[in-house]
Structure 1
Amino acid sequence: MTLDNQDILFASLMGSRSVDLIQNANILNNELANRVLPVIPFLPLKNQNNVLSQKGHAINLQDNWTTRDSIEEQKQFFPLSFSFTGGAGTNWLFPYEPMINISSGNNIVKRNVAKQGGNLIGTIKERWSRKDFDITVTGVLIGSIMQGKPEDCFPKDQLIQLFEFLKHSKEIYIFCHPLLLLGINKVVVEDYSFPFTKGENVQAYELKLTSDYSYNLLIKEEF
């Protein structure tokens, strides 16, 4: 089964693993359509059938393609969400599961020993400390209508909600299973970008986050 431009765009944004999912979803959709059943929108991809349905679930008779603007949390493998208040309050779930890259390391103070001779090789490692975790989040926001006026098809509501967290001047709480395994539940936003993205209803983003922890810098001494 060949991939069209929309399929290739989605695969390039979300990774090569999505190609198999795209093909399997298209095959299943075509089989369901042949049996006069409604088209199920597994992915934000156009189908070959002109079906009139509700907004965000099929296409209309004027060839104004529509698609799902989000995936439910239980259907995402590693869902990611932000929160201002931690456990209390409402978390904002990323509409589509993004790609997450995590990196860290150690800060090591090294000293070169003069005239170290042949028995002492390399540097003396005096002390070390752990670096912050650098987290890169890459994904897309997708509007439910693929073509039309910007106020109709561009995912403006999702972008505004995301930007509320990005411009926050304090740490934000983050929830994602791999991050929780590493003990990361708070981050600060260092950089973010919204690059040009092909598609009237698609906006890509890339977030640069750094882990943050609570520290008690004041030590109470008892005399």
Structure 2
Amino acid sequence: MEFNNNSVFSSLLNSNLIRLVENEVSERVTPILDKQQLQNIPDEIYQGRDCEAVELWMNDKSKSENAQFFPLSLKCSIDKGEWFLLPWEPLISIQGNIRQNQALPAQHIGTIKDRRLVDDYEITISGAFYGKKIKGSYSETYPRRDMEKLRNYLMASEAIEVKCELLQILNINKIAISGMSFPFTKGESVQAYQITAKSDHVWDLNYKRPQKRTLEVGTPEGEFERSTE
């Protein structure tokens, strides 16, 4: 019996086996690029801009309030009521605890929570300041101005007003500084800081004596009969 190769191959063209082989080849074999398409692509050469040697050592510029995701601003009386925006967005961590008065019931499992109070929020602010230049003298690299401004806020003997979307969601508008640290940071132009604080609220502690109530009596009108007894 003679077999015709052409007839056998043509019978397999529409079979599932041939389709499977074609799919595998199309996925694993790199397609051939058309030379005509490559010739039509114009040659582009990147032209670097001329810059001075000083610009090569300049640090990144600080971001504005609109460019930050959760900007944090501070305000107290030392700055005459002006907000101090931290130039580089810090990391803010908030922790809150619930106080519960618990009672142990007799012959029952668990405890009775008769009252719940929210403690002060514990806030941790971690960030860093960056100088104008990466390399250079101390006055050119170290962020001294930002550090001095932050120091004045940390040493203020008053509650500090804060403006941050994350804090305002939790009704935190003022904080009381409880601690600070300035860890070692690699780099001449970088100074890291970490601030720990607690949420603060305004309380009116002035005792106001309640006013005594007075009974107002009107003037009698008309005639009254007097008893003869």
Residue 36 of structure 1, CA deviation: 3.9
Query: How far off is 1:219 after superposition?
Result: 5.9
**Aligned residue type for 1:173:** E
CA distance in 2, matches of 1:222, 1:140: 55
The alignment partner of 1:96 has SS state of: coil
- How many residues align? The count is 166
User: In structure 2, how many angstroms separate the alpha carbons of the residues matched to 1:215 and 1:166?
Assistant: 22
> 1:111 aligned to 2:103?
yes
Amino acid of the residue matched to residue 46 of structure 2? Answer: N
Change in 2 beyond 3 A, CA 1:121/1:102: same
Match of 1:130 in 2: 118
Q: Is the 8 A contact 1:194 1:206 kept in 2?
A: yes
Which of 114, 121, 139 is residue 151 of structure 1 equivalent to? 139
Provide, for residues 131-187 of structure 1, a one-character-per-residue CA deviation record: whole Å limited to 9, x for no partner: 111111111100011122222211111000011101111101001111111111100
Aligned counterpart, 2:94: 102
What's the counterpart of residue 109 of structure 2?
121
For the pair shown, which has the larger CA radius of gyration, 1 or 2? 2
**Percentage of identical aligned residues:** 33
Structure 1 residue runs of 5 or longer lacking an equivalent are 1-32, 38-49, 60-64
Find 1:34's aligned residue among 46, 71, 77.
Answer: 46
4+ aligned runs moved over 6 Å, structure 1? none
- What CA RMSD, in Å, does the superposition of the two structures yield over aligned residues? 2.3
Paired residue type of 1:183: N
Quick one: which of 53, 69, 75 aligns to 1:77?
69
Query: Which residue in the other structure is 1:163 paired with?
Result: 151
TM-aligned CA distance change 1:110 to 1:206, over 3 Å: same
Q: Distance in 2 between matches of 1:34 and 1:159?
A: 40
Question: TM-score, normalised on structure 1?
Answer: 0.68
| 2:176 is equivalent to residue 188 of structure 1 | yes
CA contact (8 A) 1:69 1:143 kept: no
SS of the residue 1:75 aligns to: coil
Give the structure-2-normalised TM-score. Answer: 0.66
AA matched with 1:67: N
